[in-house]
Amino acid sequence: MDIIIRDNYAEMSRYAAGIIAGYVKNKPNCVLGLATGSTPIGTYKELIRMHKEGLDFSRVVTFNLDEYLGLGIDLDKPYDLDQSYARFMYEELFSHINIKKENIHVPDGRTKDPEKYCQWYEEEIKKAGGIDLQLLGIGGDGHWAFNEPGSSLASRTRIQALTKQTLDDNYESFYKKAGVDRDKMPHFAITMGVGTILEARNIIMIANGVKKADVVAKSIEGPVTSQITASAIQLHGGGITVVLDKDAASKLKNLDHYVHIERLKCQYGLS
Ligand code: PGA
């Protein structure tokens, strides 16, 4: 696991976007797993900037991690404004780059048959050849996507009930700003499972701010536990990069070691 610590959010975002852009350049038809939330917004802004300078997304395929149950938009009718993650992705990334609509997958929370839909989503990922690089944030309760504490580390795409902490966090970050009543927040979501996420060939996890310091330390250095589903990162056998700002890294016990390793790798041209 590579642990990269940067001074601030902007540098964390630039580094993360650089990794994603590297994949897109090396494999123009790569399959990216994408995340929502406040953390990846800077990474997406940076990808948009790179696109303006020529980064081509025309053959890239994407799969998003999750969506609130009941919400969704058609990407050709983005004026259907709601608090869906599909709309978030449209506004923060998709409408600014040359990705093809048919290559975008965001779970559709409006499905009438969630169980069947979740199986279909899993099959679509397989049909696309699996996810090459999965971008992840980490929730205040340690979740990956909407895999709340207690989710099996082998779980697949399914419906999850959201914890009070997730509802509080997302209310503060999004619903309150949009002037939407807390009562109107969906309490369930469709989410890729931890097992689904672990099948991605490579993972990049990003986190910033002191609020995340505790769960970041627990996920990287604590025991692997379904109580902090992001701790499953320790089970992944492929390329893993964790990109943190200084505040999010502040509770890591082995912080000096990670900084030392990064310096060594730079020195020997290994990164
Ligand atoms: P945040 O959410 O980026 O808004 O902090 C992260 C997550 O829930 O994965």
Confidence at residue 81, expressed as pLDDT on a 0 to 100 scale? 67
User: Looking up tokens 């109580």, which residue turns up?
Assistant: 227
141 is catalytic: yes
Distance from the CA of 65 to the center of ligand 1, in angstroms?
12
Confidence at residue 80, expressed as pLDDT on a 0 to 100 scale? 62
148 is catalytic: yes
Residues of the chain with pLDDT > 90, as a percent, come to 86
Confidence at residue 192, expressed as pLDDT on a 0 to 100 scale? 98
Binding-site residues, ligand 1, Cβ < 6 A: 37-39, 137-139, 173
CA-proximal residue: ligand 1, atom 7 (nearest): 139
Confidence at residue 151, expressed as pLDDT on a 0 to 100 scale? 97
Q: Catalytic: which of 132, 148, 169, 199?
A: 148
pTM of this prediction?
0.95
Confidence at residue 79, expressed as pLDDT on a 0 to 100 scale? 61
* Ligand 1 atom closest to Cα of residue 174: 4
Q: Catalytic: which of 66, 122, 169, 199?
A: 66
Confidence at residue 245, expressed as pLDDT on a 0 to 100 scale? 98
CA dist 16 and 248 (Å) reads 15
74 is catalytic: no
* Ligand 1 atom closest to Cα of residue 170: 4
CA dist 120 and 92 (Å) reads 26
Confidence at residue 73, expressed as pLDDT on a 0 to 100 scale? 81
The DSSP secondary structure of the chain, one letter per residue, reads -EEEEESSHHHHHHHHHHHHHHHHHH-TT-EEEE--SSTTHHHHHHHHHHHHTT---TT-EEEESEEETT----TT-TTS--S-HHHHHHHHTGGGS---GGGEE---TT-S-HHHHHHHHHHHHHHTT--SEEEE---TTS-BTTB-TT--TT--SEEEEPPHHHHHHHIIIIITTTT--GGGS-SEEEE--HHHHHTSSEEEEEE-SGGGHHHHHHHHHS--BTTBGGGGGGG--SEEEEEEETTTTTT-TTHHHHHHHHHHHHHTT--
Confidence at residue 168, expressed as pLDDT on a 0 to 100 scale? 92
Q: Which domains does the chain have, with CATH numbers?
A: 2-267 (3.40.50.1360)
Distance from the CA of 36 to the center of ligand 1, in angstroms?
7
Confidence at residue 72, expressed as pLDDT on a 0 to 100 scale? 86
260 is catalytic: no
* Distance linking the first and last C-alpha atoms of the chain: 12
- Choose the residue to mutate in 148, 165, 169, 191 for probing ligand 1, maximizing ligand atoms within 8 Å of C-beta: 169
Q: Tokens in use for 208?
A: 């910033």
Distance from the CA of 47 to the center of ligand 1, in angstroms?
19
- Which residues in the chain come in under a pLDDT of 70? 78-81, 271
